Chains A and B, each alone.
Chain A
Amino acid sequence: MDDPIRTEIMKHRLVSVAEEMGARLQRAAFSPNIKERCDFSCAVFDALGNLVAQAAHIPVHLGAMPLSVRACLESITFHPGDVAMVNDPYRGGTHLPDLTVVSPVFVQNDHEATLLGFVANRAHHADIGGMSAGSMPLSQEIFQEGLIVPPVKLMVAGKKNEDVWRLFLANVRTPDERSGDLQAQLAANRIGIERMMGLAQRFGVSTLIADMEALLRYSERMTRQLIGRLPDGCYRFEDALDNDGFSEELAVIRVVITIDGEEAIVDFSGTDAQRPGSINAVYPVTLSSVAYVFRCVLGLDIPANSGCLRPIHIVAPEGTLVNARRPAAVAAGNVETSQRIVDVLLGAFAQACPERIPAASQGTMNNLTIGGWDQRHGRPFAYYETIGGGMGAGPRSHGTSGRHSHMTNTLNTPVEAVEYAYPFRISCYTLRDGSGGNGQQRGGDGIVRRYEFMQPAEITLLSDRRVGRPYGLAGGAPGQPGRNRLKQKGAEKTVDGKCSFTVDDGDQLIIETPGGGGHGTH
């Protein structure tokens, strides 16, 4: 039996390590995406690659990070001072812009170095090369999406691996920014290592290792307890993405959640096959989505670590939207399909425990990339942002308006910061009245954001719920679908949810994000 006092104390100590890493990364990073929008996560792992403690950052990174660490463990022999990086979605990554930096923590005693565990952080880089600026393209195979980085050493025995560094920077559009962000990622791991070594010194290596194991068991116990309180049964649901950007065909995700005592089976059999467009989710993304939903439904208190996932069994057939096979394109799988997986899981849980489940939220991140040549500063630019929308109403509360929901929680880039750094301006940023679904409790409203361009630029949109609508529950109406409009030379037209086009000086792009579903009959 684990000591309930010691485990609690060590929980705080280990989370504190991850938090400190996060503070360092955010402060030291270069790109607004990491600094202003906090699109990153930091975590501590044991020697087997189990996630032991994570600072609360981005849910979509949660379940997936351990798979990145394990991929590094499989193909790299770590020595003290080594640091690996990886973004390959088929080796534990999620999509290419999410770059994970992994450092082993060795403790030197006598003449031997013992591997205590790992610290790692993952940050979304604003560009990682590929066919379009911002690396969130309308792709049909992963090779178009940017530079694929299998686990490689960024640092060797404390020294920069110059070859890797040069190769990497030669393949991205904004190498200075990338270099700065990578430095910040390294700095975050450095503080993590320092703090882990401090803990080892204070409590002893073997004790610390035992404590990490106890923490995993604790989360597992807690998860089992809470699953045990759900009614046994099979709960089914399905929902769809509008399309993959290349055909009109819906992309359907189906799930059956079986609650059986203290364990759960999440079975995605029957989900559509993977598509040519980039809406394919690799397994780590699906795992993250499942981890997120269970954590929300079971309660807030379970420490985020690999132990939580032990009582949950996932069936995700290979070659489908929820477990894509190489070389499927995956850029939108992480940001769009993950949201739909959440919608499907919550829809199933709404039958098991309706009092805890809200109607669907906007169900998209409205990914927008703007890139080109900045004539003012004479340099290339790549800008990426996501836009909040309406959240689903609950049995006792209206949905919140204008927020990011579920698998993301990034901050917006301030309108004034945008105009300082990029050759376009935002001329409207308001709530979209009436877009939330009606009901006894109303769904939250989406957002209207209007961009005015002062120079030619290349635009890529990866957005969903432009056709389908976020569902209501218990008789509540669905939210309004989103809409993307383009004004060029006085003419206005609606553009697709997933598309790529160029704009000119004077053009305007208006993005209206979806509203959340309503709850209860009005």
Chain B
Amino acid sequence: MSTSGQTSQNVWVGVDIGGTFTDFVIYSSSDQSLQRFKILSTPADPAEAVLQGLSQLPQHLSRHIVHGSTVATNAILERKGARTALITTEGFRDLLQIGRQDRPALYELFPTIPDPLVPREWCLEMRERMDVQGNVVIPLERQGIESILEILRRNAIRSVAVSFLFSFVNPEHERWVTERLREEGFFVTASSELLPEFREYERTSTTVVNAYVSPVLDNYLERLEREMNPAEFHILQSNGGRISVAQARGHGVRSILSGPAGGVVGAQYLAAMAGFPRILTFDMGGTSTDVALVNDEIQVTTEAEVGGCPIRVPVIDIHTVGSGGGSLATVDAGGNLRVGPQSAGADPGPVCYGRGGTIPTVTDAHVVLGRLPADGFLGGRMKLDVAAAQQAFDTLGKQIAVSPLPGLNERQTLALGLIQIANAHMERALRVISVERGEDPRETVLVSFGGAGGLHACALARALGVPSVLVSPMAATLSAMGMLAADVQLDYVQTVMLPGDTPCEIIEQHTQELISRGEADLLREGIASEQAVLTRSVDVRYVGQSFDLEVPLTPQFRKEFDRLHQERYGYCQPDADIEIVNVRLRAIGHVTPPPISARSLGSADSSSAKWEERPVVTGKGMQHVPHYRRTNCDRAMKFQVRRF
């Protein structure tokens, strides 16, 4: 399946670290078997769970590991990255502090703005300035480096971000400083190497994030590599592609959102096998829900933010809402029923877990309505306290005036309402990533995974006009599966700001350097040139606009841009001047993912799969509904759908 030689002794392992569980998917090429298991995560030292899981594999096997970790994300969220300094052009040391000078919440008199990753006293300046054409306005004052070195040493700084104005046009000054610091043994991230793209705040922020997380991530990966001794070791990047750990070193920002990326890649892989190239992924967890759009290709964005820090590297376009199974129901001052954003979390968890929760959650609503059987949760391993959940709704009912729906009592009406409100939150999220991105949900399939997704997917599909829902039996380990399905993928960008009438050949010349880098990097990944796909694109806008659209670089790019503009924004101006802001390159090395065969879990005789008829509350009142055991179902089986 991979690029190196296959022997019967090979196994491919996808490992995904989540908040509660670390998931493993193991594919063995000798017998084409696919194994999946979960073990409890070890948040204090995430590597422990990984090693523990791998120790369950026979030692003699040659292991090819693809890993998704939250180490980099957590370093940002908990502000536990390397001691990092920033060096900017003179007059711009406060770029991180000022940001874009907006505040995160409009009506908050005391805004809470996360601290920048670099404290102000370690934001340093050098006298220099380039102009927009890359001409030197102020020559670099090289002796300035001496006092900077002293500050860095005095403060035991390990990692340095260097971001000068217009270094993406002329990197000469930035390069000199970078090399000098590297000579002195510092880990250095230069903005012109990492992200040669205009807009100083976002570029600087991305550079700083990389400087801050890379040393931490590198340590972690080195330790894993040492102890696991793998034949191959890849990590999943935020763009949904994998990369060898050797090449990932020093580029921590690229894998900062690798966890959620795995789920989308896994969903795309499974859905494609089922014949669905256009999907909406729907990953509903305990405290939040992630949704993403796959429109033949996984959609990426360069406008992501982690822990208050913008990052401008390509990231799978995942939209998150603070609504999940554990979201709490409350009554507000205007008398409305509200759901979330507060969550019962893992502790105490929903009321029905019997761990001391008293405020009803979305999960409790399902229990009260009979949609989560009390004796069938987690395959029967956990008993749910139905009476406690009911009690919690009765207490809530005393604070709110609800008139019972026909056939339902007050408690059931309230529980149903809670679910509908949670659905309204999630519908809004699904609209953001579909309609707002110019995609019609009616032409997609909703792919549900995550613990609670299946209970909501059909209602959401109906609200959005999505005709089909796909719920995979692999839903629980989809992210780890995604690790194994991910191609090698590298993204490159360069701001060029060329007039729109620039001949295509000239634009192509500007991509030459990106291509050489892409080819060399793929070669280092062991990708033979026949497996490599290099795609060039350009970011284009009408002159005067400040957002751009990415279109493939072909002689027809202008036409394609107008078409896309029309599709996205409802109008285009074929006669207006355009400009080419960036050239981009995506280098992909295709990987053959583990084959999953369509197979029956049970027999064609549905009677053996039928569990029992149980009472379930729907909008039409109490109904007796047949329940089936998924593990006994056969793919030839068909069910009569009843609309609730």
Q: B201 contacts which chain A residues (CB < 8 A)?
A: 414
| B338 at interface by CB-CB < 8 Å | yes
What separation, in Å, do the CA atoms of A218 and B400 have in the docked complex?
Answer: 13
**Interface 1/0 per residue, A379-399 and B, CB below 8 Å:** 000000001100100101100
**Interface 1/0 per residue, B489-525 and A, CB below 8 Å:** 0000000010000000000000000000000000000
**Are B132 and A420 interface neighbours, CB within 8 A?**
yes
8 A Cβ contacts from B76-133 to A: 90-95, 97-103, 105-111, 113, 129, 131-132
The interface centre, meaning the residue of B91, B92, B200, B333 with most chain A CB atoms within 10 A of its CB, is: B333
**Interface 1/0 per residue, A415-451 and B, CB below 8 Å:** 1110111000101111100000000000000010010
The residue from B334, B431, B497, B545 contacting A302, defined by CB atoms under 8 A apart: B334
**Are A427 and B129 interface neighbours, CB within 8 A?**
yes
Q: B565 contacts which chain A residues (CB < 8 A)?
A: 28
**Are B424 and A13 interface neighbours, CB within 8 A?**
yes
**Are A419 and B101 interface neighbours, CB within 8 A?**
no
The residue from B94, B428, B570, B571 contacting A429, defined by CB atoms under 8 A apart: B94
| A409 at interface by CB-CB < 8 Å | yes
The residue in chain A whose Cβ has the minimal distance to the Cβ of B112 is: A397
What separation, in Å, do the CA atoms of A57 and B101 have in the docked complex?
Answer: 15
The interface size of chain B toward A, counting residues with CB under 8 Å, comes to: 72
Stretch at the interface among A100-108, A143-151, A177-185, A273-281: A177-185
What separation, in Å, do the CA atoms of A318 and B617 have in the docked complex?
Answer: 60
What separation, in Å, do the CA atoms of A445 and B571 have in the docked complex?
Answer: 43
Q: A394 contacts which chain B residues (CB < 8 A)?
A: 109-110
**Are A16 and B336 interface neighbours, CB within 8 A?**
no
What separation, in Å, do the CA atoms of A431 and B116 have in the docked complex?
Answer: 14
With A28-B570, A31-B544: A222-B334 Cβ-Cβ less than 8 Å:
yes
**Are A35 and B546 interface neighbours, CB within 8 A?**
yes
8 A Cβ contacts from A178-199 to B: 180, 183-184, 186-187, 190-191
What separation, in Å, do the CA atoms of A135 and B432 have in the docked complex?
Answer: 35
The residue in chain A whose Cβ has the minimal distance to the Cβ of B565 is: A28
What separation, in Å, do the CA atoms of A415 and B335 have in the docked complex?
Answer: 47
What separation, in Å, do the CA atoms of A377 and B111 have in the docked complex?
Answer: 42
Q: B198 contacts which chain A residues (CB < 8 A)?
A: 414, 416-417, 420
**Are A4 and B103 interface neighbours, CB within 8 A?**
no
Secondary structure call for the B interface:
loop
With A9-B424, A35-B547, A403-B111: A425-B131 Cβ-Cβ less than 8 Å:
yes
The residue from A32, A412, A419 contacting B132, defined by CB atoms under 8 A apart: A419
Q: B91 contacts which chain A residues (CB < 8 A)?
A: 427-430, 450
Q: A372 contacts which chain B residues (CB < 8 A)?
A: none
**Are A404 and B102 interface neighbours, CB within 8 A?**
yes
**Are B573 and A28 interface neighbours, CB within 8 A?**
no
**Are A30 and B103 interface neighbours, CB within 8 A?**
no
With A12-B424, A191-B570: A412-B335 Cβ-Cβ less than 8 Å:
no
What separation, in Å, do the CA atoms of A346 and B107 have in the docked complex?
Answer: 13
| B158 at interface by CB-CB < 8 Å | no
The residue in chain B whose Cβ has the minimal distance to the Cβ of A513 is: B101
| A487 at interface by CB-CB < 8 Å | no
What separation, in Å, do the CA atoms of A226 and B102 have in the docked complex?
Answer: 28
8 A Cβ contacts from A1-51 to B: 1-5, 7-9, 11-13, 15-16, 19-20, 23-24, 26-32, 35-36, 38
**Are B546 and A32 interface neighbours, CB within 8 A?**
yes
Q: A387 contacts which chain B residues (CB < 8 A)?
A: 101
**Are A414 and B401 interface neighbours, CB within 8 A?**
no
Q: A420 contacts which chain B residues (CB < 8 A)?
A: 132, 198, 497
**Are B576 and A295 interface neighbours, CB within 8 A?**
no
Q: B573 contacts which chain A residues (CB < 8 A)?
A: 180, 183
A-B contact count (CB 8 A): 217
**Are B109 and A8 interface neighbours, CB within 8 A?**
no
The residue in chain B whose Cβ has the minimal distance to the Cβ of A187 is: B570
**Interface 1/0 per residue, B391-428 and A, CB below 8 Å:** 00000000011110000000001100110110011011
Q: B107 contacts which chain A residues (CB < 8 A)?
A: 56, 59, 292, 295-296, 300
Q: A226 contacts which chain B residues (CB < 8 A)?
A: 333
**Are B542 and A30 interface neighbours, CB within 8 A?**
yes
Minimum C-beta distance from A239 to chain B (A): 17
With A218-B336, A226-B333: A356-B109 Cβ-Cβ less than 8 Å:
yes
| A364 at interface by CB-CB < 8 Å | no
Minimum C-beta distance from B193 to chain A (A): 17
With A20-B431, A404-B102, A425-B131: A5-B94 Cβ-Cβ less than 8 Å:
no
**Are A4 and B336 interface neighbours, CB within 8 A?**
yes
| A357 at interface by CB-CB < 8 Å | yes
Q: A403 contacts which chain B residues (CB < 8 A)?
A: 98, 101-103, 111, 113
The interface size of chain A toward B, counting residues with CB under 8 Å, comes to: 88
With A7-B336, A400-B111: A417-B546 Cβ-Cβ less than 8 Å:
yes
**Are A431 and B98 interface neighbours, CB within 8 A?**
yes
**Are B108 and A300 interface neighbours, CB within 8 A?**
yes
What separation, in Å, do the CA atoms of A23 and B331 have in the docked complex?
Answer: 30
With A222-B334, A419-B131: A4-B400 Cβ-Cβ less than 8 Å:
yes
**Are B424 and A8 interface neighbours, CB within 8 A?**
yes
Q: B331 contacts which chain A residues (CB < 8 A)?
A: 4
| B228 at interface by CB-CB < 8 Å | no
**Are B335 and A218 interface neighbours, CB within 8 A?**
yes
The interface centre, meaning the residue of B95, B435, B546, B569 with most chain A CB atoms within 10 A of its CB, is: B546
Q: A419 contacts which chain B residues (CB < 8 A)?
A: 131-132, 166
**Interface 1/0 per residue, B546-587 and A, CB below 8 Å:** 110000000000000000010011110100100000000000
Minimum C-beta distance from A113 to chain B (A): 22
| B199 at interface by CB-CB < 8 Å | yes
| A140 at interface by CB-CB < 8 Å | no
**Are B103 and A400 interface neighbours, CB within 8 A?**
yes
What separation, in Å, do the CA atoms of A370 and B400 have in the docked complex?
Answer: 56
The residue in chain A whose Cβ has the minimal distance to the Cβ of B400 is: A4
**Are B336 and A8 interface neighbours, CB within 8 A?**
yes
Q: B199 contacts which chain A residues (CB < 8 A)?
A: 414, 416-417
The residue in chain B whose Cβ has the minimal distance to the Cβ of A401 is: B97
| A375 at interface by CB-CB < 8 Å | no
| A301 at interface by CB-CB < 8 Å | yes
Q: B428 contacts which chain A residues (CB < 8 A)?
A: 12-13, 15-16, 19
Minimum C-beta distance from A305 to chain B (A): 11
| A358 at interface by CB-CB < 8 Å | yes
| B165 at interface by CB-CB < 8 Å | yes
The residue from A26, A218, A402 contacting B97, defined by CB atoms under 8 A apart: A402
Q: A358 contacts which chain B residues (CB < 8 A)?
A: 109-110
The interface centre, meaning the residue of B94, B108, B165 with most chain A CB atoms within 10 A of its CB, is: B94
Minimum C-beta distance from A276 to chain B (A): 32
The residue in chain A whose Cβ has the minimal distance to the Cβ of B335 is: A4
Minimum C-beta distance from A306 to chain B (A): 14
| A505 at interface by CB-CB < 8 Å | no
8 A Cβ contacts from B459-478 to A: none
| A225 at interface by CB-CB < 8 Å | yes
What separation, in Å, do the CA atoms of A409 and B110 have in the docked complex?
Answer: 14
| A411 at interface by CB-CB < 8 Å | yes
| A492 at interface by CB-CB < 8 Å | no
**Are A222 and B332 interface neighbours, CB within 8 A?**
yes
| B337 at interface by CB-CB < 8 Å | yes
Taking A9-B421, A222-B332, A388-B101 as given, write out 4 further A-B residue pairs in contact, using a Cβ cutoff of 8 Å, ordered by the A residue number.
A3-B402, A29-B545, A302-B334, A425-B132
Question: 8 A-B contacts, Cβ less than 8 Å apart?
Answer: A3-B403, A13-B428, A59-B106, A221-B334, A302-B334, A358-B110, A403-B102, A417-B199
List residues of A whose CB falls within 8 A of some B CB.
1-5, 7-9, 11-13, 15-16, 19-20, 23-24, 26-32, 35-36, 38, 56-57, 59, 176-177, 180, 183-184, 186-187, 190-191, 218-219, 221-222, 225-226, 292, 295-297, 299-302, 346, 356-358, 387-388, 391, 394, 396-397, 400-405, 409-412, 414-417, 419-421, 425, 427-431, 447, 450
The 9 closest A-B pairs by CB, nearest first: A222-B334, A5-B417, A428-B91, A28-B569, A388-B101, A12-B424, A402-B98, A187-B570, A411-B100
